[in-house]
Amino acid sequence: MNRVTRAGAALLSLAVAAGLAACSQSEEPGTGEAVTLNYWLWDDNQKASYQQCADEFTKANPNITIKISQSAWNEYWQNLTTQIAAGDAPDVWTNQGSYYPQFVSSGQILDIQPYVTKDGVDLSQYQGGLADLFTKGDQRFGLPKDWDTMALVYNADHLKAQGLDAASLANLTWNPADGGTFEQAIAKATVDEKGRNGLDPAFDKTKVKVFGFLPEWADGSQGQNGWGNLAASNGFTYLDKNPWGTQYKYDDPKLAETIDWFKKLIDKGYSPALDKASTLSRDSLLNAGKGAITFAGSWMINSYLGDGAKLKFAFAPLPAGPQGRKTAINGLSDAIWAGTKHKDEAWQWVKFLGSAQCQNIVGGNGVVFPAIKSASEKALAAHTAKGRDVKVFVDEAAAPGGTFFVPITEHGNEISQTVQDAIQSAILGQASAADALKKANDQVNALFK
Amino acid sequence: MSSTKPRDDRRAAWWFLLPVLVGFAVFYGYPAARGLWYSVTDYTMLNTPSYVGAENYSKLVQDDKFWNALLVTGWYVVLNIGSQTLLALGIATLMHRLTRSVVLRATLLLPWLVPNVTIGLLWMWLLDTNLGFFNQLLHTVGWGPVGFFTDETWAMPTVAGINTWAYTGYTALLLYAGMLQIPQYLYEGASIDGAGEWRMFRRITLPLLRPVLALALVVSLIGSFQIFDTIAVTTKGGPVSATQVIYYFIYLQAFKYFHMGYAAAAAVFLALILGVLTAIQMRLLRASRSDLA
């Protein structure tokens, strides 16, 4: 051993000793050492509300600072996956059904059940069923933060001119055979270039000026923005059990019937054909007066009733199908990264996010409906104070048996593309809905083998 | 102290090459090696990759979606390279023989300077079925709306057209630079002999432009195979999978479905195809080098 390496070895042992000392220092429990938690979300409309929550939280826990980062939906999941792969993920992030199973099965999300038990978090304070969405067996991967439901949105002035007021839209019915009063309303709302509506025998379906109904065909495997709600009200269920089912049922004739009904709307000229449809969002078409009615989620409230809307819009309940009125309900949660260095602090933050204190702040800003029922009431009150009638979303969420959860399983994104392609090919007339969905269902179920 | 032995410059040369070599190794060599390795593993970005042999490749050759992606990409390349090269050739000839205005030349490059995502959004609005300017025009002359992005027959030609619009100026400039190398006296002589513009184009411009044309083809062909952003912005691979090109397929597999190993295998396959195509084109390039000698 020459002199240089000996000196190096001495230095190295010194460094190791120093490092050990540093370690033992930070392992002391409850030192109140300053900690910064990284928290990620994607909705820029909600960033301000959560910043308020973070400020409140830091007031109560002066040693913990929350650093909020926001990025748009698509980048959000790519960034998150990359950061997790690199072993440098945010301590806490906002989670959603379609990506989260992947993270659970690869062990990236901390099981918070022990914390929930220890701190006695009241799970019954949340809107029915939301807390169970983020469990697997007896593990729990998040506390619910908010929810959304679906309703019909319509161009109020246009429908009024066609003799349809709010009362006539409050109790629409639907069935896949003749479309019920929902189809009647759509027909009335469709107007050709000579001003004749869809019920007029002289109606010219080749020269439609305003389409009665605008469908959404880029709607994945869930159809949350359209076919899913009607299919559910026709008795369709997506899979054997939710969450974490392994056997999908897209070959159910009740779904094919629903898709066929949508196709009939196109054939009658009440909806734009898919190959002549717009790639722009439905709210831009509604704002341009090209369509009269479509489905809207409660997250769109501010787009339709806010200052940006060019026309007067209003919401109506979804039509009731053979099995009653069914709306998709979806919830978000906050997840803790399994690899975080500050598990206890992250739990404190997640617990605060799931508490009435934070959710009341979020609800008071009237952007989304928080998961805690009393905070939801606050959000409703905030909307009402601004003169916005959005009660329908809350009523639908509260109706017994009136909601269904969109599926949460593995392979979410792949299933989404497969089913969406099948439904598009049926709407384009390349295959019958029954055949296309049967084939897609076989492909989907093969993923679980 | 005269020495017959020439000074050996190789040591110095290596020092000068070092930065490039390091850059190449770090940014190209290493990622390429990693990609090759992933293509024989079951990597999902979140697990520790383990070796699965040729499984990804055997699954790939049986995957209808993959073959569809190759086919669709091929169709795009034919449409895009065909229209782009012809158009660029026409514009370059006009610039060469008609006007040499610098303003015009700069204007031609404008679309090429706009970011691709912006171009995609711009054309998505212009060509929209319900709100787009073009369909309004069609409507006023009595033609029904065309779903440029949503009709299966039109979606790919539309995407190809957009990229042709964006890149023609650049290709035209390359070809124009090539034309400037053709000696002026050839044209003077030909016009004294009574040759018209069309004849001069066919007999002088086109043959002497061949090396530059070949280079422009190599560059734009590889670029054309890598079509992604316009599609990601406008059609997202739809309707059904009419515009799901190979890069979009790889993107879906890697970042949406988390099949990183499978996506790497598809990427290796694509690299092979591009390698073969480039080799063929380089041969063509070399064969035409002596035309102006």
A290: chain B residues, CB-CB within 8 Å: 130-131
Chain A interface mutation, best of B41, B243, B248, B258, highest count of A Cβ atoms under 10 Å: B258
B223/A contact by beta carbon, under 8 A: no
pLDDT value for A333: 93
Q: State the count of interchain CB pairs (< 8 A) between A and B.
A: 85
Residue A19: the pLDDT is 43
CA distance B163 to A233: 45
Coil, helix or strand at residue A143: strand
| Contact status of B235 with chain A (Cβ, < 8 Å) | yes
How many CB atoms within 10 Å of residue B275?
Answer: 10
| B8-43 pLDDT tens trace | 788 889 999 999 999 999 999 999 999 999 999 998
Q: What is the ipTM metric for this complex?
A: 0.77
Smallest CA–CA distance, residue A178 to chain B, in Å, is 28
Of B45, B147, B258, the CB nearest to A276: B147
CB of B263 closer than 8 Å to CB of B42: no
Which range among B59-68, B94-103, B279-288 shows the weakest confidence by mean pLDDT? B279-288
Q: Which of A6-20, B95-109, B143-157, B269-283 has the lowest mean pLDDT?
A: A6-20
Would you call B234 an interface residue with chain A, using a CB distance cutoff of 8 Å?
yes
HEC profile of A302-342? HHHHCCCCCCCEEEECCCEECCECCEEEEEEEEEEECCCCC
User: A277 at the B interface (CB within 8 A)?
Assistant: yes
**Cα dihedral B202→B208→B211→B212 (10° resolution):** -80
Place of tokens 């050839």: B186
Please identify every stretch of chain A with a pLDDT value under 50, giving residue numbers as ranges. 1-30
Can you name the residues that pair with A1 across neighbouring β-strands? none
For A28-56, b/e burial (b = at least 16 CB within 10 A) is eeeeeeebebbbbbbbeebeebbeebbee
HEC string of A9-71?
A: HHHHHHHHHHHHHHHHHHCCCCCCCCEEEEEEECCCCCHHHHHHHHHHHHHHCCCEEEEEEEC
pLDDT digit string (tens) for A27-78?
334 456 899 999 999 988 889 999 999 999 999 999 999 999 999 887 898 8
A37 φ, ψ (degrees, to nearest 5): -100, 135
Find, in chain B, the residue whose alpha carbon is nearest to that of A109.
B46
Spatial separation of the C-alpha atoms in residues A212 and A269, rounded to whole Å: 9
pLDDT at A247: 95
Taking residues B233-257, report their average pLDDT: 89
Q: Residue A428 and residue B258: Cβ atoms within 8 Å?
A: no
pLDDT of residue B44: 85
Mean pLDDT throughout B105-134? 88
For A235-280, write each residue's pLDDT tens digit: 999 999 888 999 999 999 999 999 999 999 999 999 998 888 777 8
Whether B46 and A277 lie within 8 Å, measured CB to CB: no
pLDDT for A17: 44
The pLDDT, as a whole number, for residue B288 is: 54
Q: What pLDDT is stored for residue B191 in this prediction?
A: 86
For B157, B163, B208, B246, the CA distances from B83, given in Å and listed in that order, are: 10, 10, 21, 21
State chain B's mean pLDDT as an integer: 87
Q: B280 falls in which pLDDT band (50, 70, 90)? A: confident
* Architecture in CATH of B78-244: Orthogonal Bundle (1.10)
Give residues 42 to 61 of B whose Cβ lies within 8 Å of A.
44-47
**A-chain residue closest to B235, CA distance:** A279
The model's pTM = 0.83
Domains annotated on chain A, with CATH = 33-147+332-385 (3.40.190.10), 150-330+392-446 (3.40.190.10)
**Closest CA–CA distance from residue A437 to any residue of chain B (Å):** 13
